[in-house]
Amino acid sequence: MLDKLGSIEKRYAELEGRLNDPAVIANNREFAKLAKERAQLQSIVECIRDYRHVLDEIAEYRSSLEGSDPELKELAKTELPSLQKRLASLEDRLKELLAPRDPNDDKNVIVEIRAGTGGDEAALFATELLRMYSRYAEEHDWRVEVLSISTTGAGGTKEAIASINGQGAYSRLKFEGGVHRVQRVPATEASGRIHTSAVTVAVLPEADEVEVNINEEKDLRIDVMRASGPGGQSVNTTDSAVRITHIPTGMVIICRDEKSQHKNKARALKVLRARLMEQARLEQEAKIAQSRRSMVGTGDRSERIRTYNFPQSRVTDHRVNLTLHQLDRVLDGGLDPLIDALSTKEQAQALSA
């Protein structure tokens, strides 16, 4: 582990140096990227430094135990147990910090809520879930914006899509994706019979702006050709047409409209970038669609991550077998006890891996 800690410290020092480089400071995109990486490493480096300091203190006190000074020996005997305890605590903290981290954890989220089986009752509960997440966001000083919503005449919600922006939003809300089952007596049920309904929730990390970086030397094959056209025109007498082949994808762009080879190349590159951006966007949307499908299943009552039982004022999360008799508090945004348990489980699995 010490070797890994050393490499992290080395990278942190490298980042510190690069962030003081005038060329990096002048490049806003590069500076922001490196500053973000440094911020992610800062807490680890601080913990590493504490860890090394405690190791040095332990080594010093152990040396005192082997010396001849009785006062130093007694001091070492007194201090070593607490230092060993502190070292163990720091080791646990380092393991947590070094555990594999979800790269999307710092992103904003898109929350999609859809009424499943249960008709009007499902739609009414979808409205309550939207409020629950809005209240949870408010408690964490996150910003909520409803992007689209389709409602029913009875105050229910068929579908709602909202963006939630804030530090660590995805790291907390990602556990909410799945089927939420509600058990209660509808207001229209004269016999008092409990109905079971379901609402699906999908939580997606907000997509970064798709960027296209082309390495002309490695990614492109550029051929210059004599453009074809009506006889006698200058288009026939100069090698101005440009054909660009994007080697990674096999995409080919040909531009011959301009008499200037440089202008044709610039146009071809512009078209290539546009096509690559569109391809990346489509691939990204396909991945999100797959993530959504795996998250919400069919919306059937039997597929559930959590059950909200109104008669017993009970909320049960089936993934961690945790039951809270605080239904009103949970629906008012008090999700932290449930999310903490799920986060702890995820962390334990990461450490185990």
Percent of the chain with pLDDT strictly greater than 70:
86
Q: CA nearest 268: which of 281, 252, 280, 248? A: 252
Residue pointed to by tokens 């699906």: 200
pLDDT digits (tens, 9 = 90+) for 24-50: 889 888 888 888 888 888 888 999 999
Q: What is the CATH number of the domain that holds 222?
A: 3.30.160.20
Residues 196 and 316 in one domain: yes
Q: What is the CATH number of the domain that holds 21?
A: 1.20.58
Residues 260 and 117 in one domain: no
Number of domains forming the structure of the chain: 3
pLDDT digits (tens, 9 = 90+) for 189-214: 767 788 899 999 988 887 664 456 77
Q: CA nearest 18: which of 42, 45, 40, 37? A: 37
pLDDT for the residue 208: 62
103 inside domain: no
Structural domain boundaries enclosing 11: 2-98
Residues 122 and 83 in one domain: no
Q: 176 pairs with which residues across the strands? A: none
Q: Report how far residue 302's alpha carbon sits from residue 201's, in angstroms, rounded to the nearest whole number.
A: 15
Residues 308 and 204 in one domain: yes
Residues 202 and 136 in one domain: yes
pLDDT for the residue 28: 85
Q: What is the CATH number of the domain that holds 141?
A: 3.30.70.1660
Given 256, 286, 316, which residue is the final one in a domain? 286
DSSP state of 305: S
Token reading at 199: 């609402």
Q: Report how far residue 311's alpha carbon sits from residue 196's, in angstroms, rounded to the nearest whole number.
A: 12
pLDDT for the residue 281: 66
Residues 279 and 153 in one domain: no
104 inside domain: no
Residues 146 and 18 in one domain: no
For residue 166, count CB atoms less than 10 angstroms from its CB and return exposed for 0-12, middle for 13-18, buried for 19 or more: middle
pLDDT over 80 at 232, yes or no: no
Cα Rg, the chain, nearest whole Å: 30
